Amino acid sequence: MRNLQKQLDGYRLTTAEITYHLPDYPALLQKFIWQNLDLAPRFPELRGFLRFWERNLDGKLHSVKVASCELIHPAEFRLVEGEIRIH
């Protein structure tokens, strides 16, 4: 229920592709996928995760690609101009 409330408050499904340097082999890059509900365009949840990464993990960040999508949309409907009755 908490996730539904977040979505109603404007949170969107956010996916981040995080590319980072391997700690033991800095010339090699590794990718990590992060996904959570977050508020676009500031992305406070993702920024908090990246701050945690920089403080606590050894792999230095190379780049971050972000995609975001609303899961709950306003209802779409179309008015019908005519009616057909069959028996």
- pLDDT tens for each residue of the chain, 87 residues long: 688 888 888 899 999 999 999 999 999 999 999 999 999 999 999 999 999 999 999 999 999 999 999 887 766 666 667 777 776
Burial class for 16, CB neighbours closer than 10 Å (0-12, 13-18, 19+): buried
Q: How many domains does the chain divide into?
A: 1
Does residue 21 fall inside a structural domain?
yes
Do residues 20 and 32 lie in contact, with contact meaning Cβ atoms separated by under 8 Å? yes
CB 7 within 8 A of CB 37: yes
Give residue 34's domain range.
2-69
Q: Is residue 60 domain-resident? A: yes
pLDDT of residue 35: 97
In a domain, 15, yes or no: yes
Is 77 inside any structural domain? Answer: no
**Contact residues for 70 (Cβ-Cβ < 8 A; gap 6+):** 7, 12, 13
- pLDDT, position 20: 98
| 79 found inside a domain | no
- CB neighbours of 61 closer than 8 A, spacing ≥ 6? 18, 19, 20, 21, 50, 53, 54
In a domain, 37, yes or no: yes
The reply to whether 54 falls in a domain is yes
75 found inside a domain: no
